[in-house]
């Protein structure tokens, strides 16, 4: 059997987890042959926690030029994803990037063009797309069983983070280092699933966010977002890292019922006929369409990083379709960029946003920043943890 030689660049929380998956042989058809990190303590961790015989690089240029890898998994801080991906494509290397695709759409559009020109397999770590719960939700919506979408509501406040989490590294929760807070980091998976399951991208967004509401950080840790869709449907998205106990409840209302995803369960309140049809034909005054409650049994699996890596490797070796094409990364990022623009200007923002305009506004935020972290610990959290 021919193995795909894989390299990993970035050995933080997620990079460490991916390294262990590959090193333990949990990804069929792949072998970990090279790792790149500038952090000496993480290099020492590699030596103590891996069994394979692999090359270790401290310089990315040498890593891409001399490692001999076929594919690279990029797990570095947000801003570097597009540039590193472009370097890999230029060397004829397949790419899997951690989310987000980048911080601003301008660089991600360039990355997507480089991916297309290279002809290499490009994927993004949207592991929630591999969750059977959201796959079933998507099937129900795309099959037409829910009918025409009327409203979406998603409360994502089960992503609590302590101050020590933000203090774990200098780049976290800064405009210069991370490019955003709860919207770009913790809630980006939900922004992706929001548009992926429904099949709708918002056309207009009005958002309010609170900077450092619950933590000593310079980016948002709480946000409320209102969206409008092309077909007239509306939606609300709420995210926070400062609430305990949190909530994760996703509602999608169509003219044929309502689907609720909460507590890792999926419930379909299915109407016996279209509400729009009932509204036009019913003559009894206070009546309403009949409906039935259907508890759809599906096993939720949240930690699906291995599934995305395996899918990427299978696409390289077998031509299997990608579950999370890298080019899709721009969609959730487009939504997040619009959320930031709206919250900064307190105005409704049309999508797609102007890439140059957002880039300029972000640079203004970075240039005007006077924020300094007081207690940076420079620790790597549990290697199996999330962003």
- Which CATH number characterizes residue 227's domain? 3.30.360.10
Query: According to the model, what pLDDT value does residue 264 have?
Result: 93
Nearest to 129 by CA among 247, 8, 337, 305: 305
The confidence score (pLDDT) of residue 217 equals: 97
Predicted pLDDT of residue 170: 87
Same domain, 171 and 296: yes
Q: Do residues 213 and 350 share a domain?
A: yes
- pTM exceeds 0.85: yes
- Structural domain contains residue 383: no
Residue 301: its pLDDT value, please? Answer: 85
Residue 261 lies in a domain: yes
Q: Which residues of the chain have pLDDT under 70?
A: 1, 379-387
Give the separation between CA 303 and CA 38, rounded to whole angstroms: 27
DSSP string for 157-182: ------HHHHTTSTTTT-TTTTS-ST
pLDDT at 126: 97
Cα(329)–Cα(165) distance, integer angstroms: 25
Q: Is 376 inside any structural domain? A: no
pLDDT of residue 386: 42
Q: How many domains does the chain have?
A: 2
Domain range for residue 240?
Answer: 129-301+332-368
Are residues 183 and 204 located together in one domain of the fold?
Answer: yes
Three-state DSSP state, 150: strand
347 assigned to some structural domain: yes
* Residue 380 confidence (pLDDT): 53
Q: Clarify whether residues 112 and 28 are in a common domain.
A: yes
What are the Cα distances from residue 69, in Å, to 35, 44, 138, 219, 319?
10, 22, 35, 37, 19
With H, G, I as helix, E, B as strand and everything else as coil, classify residue 287.
coil
Same domain, residue pair 31 and 60:
yes
Instruction: Please report the pLDDT score of residue 156 as a whole number.
Output: 98
CATH number at 310 reads 3.40.50.720
Tell me, what's the pLDDT at 53?
A: 84
In terms of C-beta density within 10 A (0-12 exposed, 13-18 middle, 19 or more buried), how is residue 201 classed?
Answer: middle
Strand, coil or helix: 79: helix
In the prediction, which pLDDT does 383 show?
Answer: 37
Are residue 281 and residue 252 in the same domain, yes or no? yes
Backbone φ/ψ region at 98: left (φ over 0), alpha (ψ -120 to 50), beta:
beta
The reported pLDDT for the residue numbered 302 is 78
Reduced DSSP (H G I as helix, E B as strand, rest coil) percent helix, strand, coil of the chain, to 5: 35, 25, 40
Q: Do 90 and 155 fall within a single domain?
A: no
Which helix (H) or strand (E) segment holds residue 335: the answer is: helix 329-345
CB 85 within 8 A of CB 79: no
Helices (H), strands (E): how many in the chain? 12, 15
Question: Is residue 254 domain-shared with residue 339, that is, in the same domain?
Answer: yes
User: Are 118 and 198 in a shared domain?
Assistant: no
Same domain as 308, residue 191 = no
User: Residue 239 phi/psi, 5° resolution?
Assistant: -135, 145
Whether 143 and 269 map to the same domain: the answer is: yes
45 & 58 share domain? yes
């Amino acid at each position: 059997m021919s193995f795909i030689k894989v390299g990993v660049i970035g050995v933080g929380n997620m990079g460490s987890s991916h390294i262990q998956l590959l090193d333990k042989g949990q990804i069929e058809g792949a072998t970990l042959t090279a790792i790149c990190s500038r952090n000496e303590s993480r290099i020492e961790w590699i030596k103590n926690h891996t069994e394979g015989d692999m090359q270790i690089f401290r310089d990315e240029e040498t890593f891409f030029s001399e490692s001999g890898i076929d594919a690279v998994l990029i797990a570095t801080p947000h801003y570097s994803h597009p540039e590193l991906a472009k370097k890999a494509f230029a060397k004829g290397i397949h790419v899997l990037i951690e989310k987000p695709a980048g911080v601003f759409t301008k660089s991600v559009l360039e990355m997507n063009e480089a991916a297309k020109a290279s002809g290499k397999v490009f994927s993004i770590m949207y592991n929630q797309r591999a969750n059977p719960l959201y796959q079933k939700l998507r099937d129900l919506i795309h099959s037409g069983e829910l009918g025409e979408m009327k409203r979406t509501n998603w409360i994502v406040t089960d992503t609590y983070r302590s101050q020590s989490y933000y203090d774990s590294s200098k780049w976290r929760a800064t405009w210069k280092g991370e490019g955003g807070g709860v919207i770009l980091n913790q809630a980006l998976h939900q922004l992706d699933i929001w548009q992926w399951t429904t099949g709708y991208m918002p056309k207009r967004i009005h958002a309010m966010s609170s900077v450092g509401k619950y933590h000593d950080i310079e980016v948002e840790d709480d946000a409320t977002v209102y969206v409008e869709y092309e077909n007239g449907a509306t939606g609300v998205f709420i995210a926070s890292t400062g609430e305990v106990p949190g909530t994760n409840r996703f509602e999608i209302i169509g003219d044929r019922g309502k689907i609720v995803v909460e507590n890792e369960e999926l419930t379909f309140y299915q109407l016996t006929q279209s509400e729009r049809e009932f509204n036009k034909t019913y003559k009894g005054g206070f009546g309403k369409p009949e409906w039935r409650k259907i508890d759809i049994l599906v096993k939720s699996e949240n930690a699906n990083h291995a599934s995305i890596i395996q899918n990427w490797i299978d696409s390289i070796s077998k031509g299997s379709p990608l579950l999370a094409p890298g080019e899709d990364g721009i969609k959730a990022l487009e939504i997040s960029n619009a959320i930031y623009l709206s919250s900064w200007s307190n105005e409704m923002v049309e999508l797609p946003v102007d890439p140059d305009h957002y880039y300029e506004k972000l640079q203004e935020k970075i240039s005007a920043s006077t924020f300094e972290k007081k207690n940076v610990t420079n620790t790597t959290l549990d290697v199996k943890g999330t962003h």
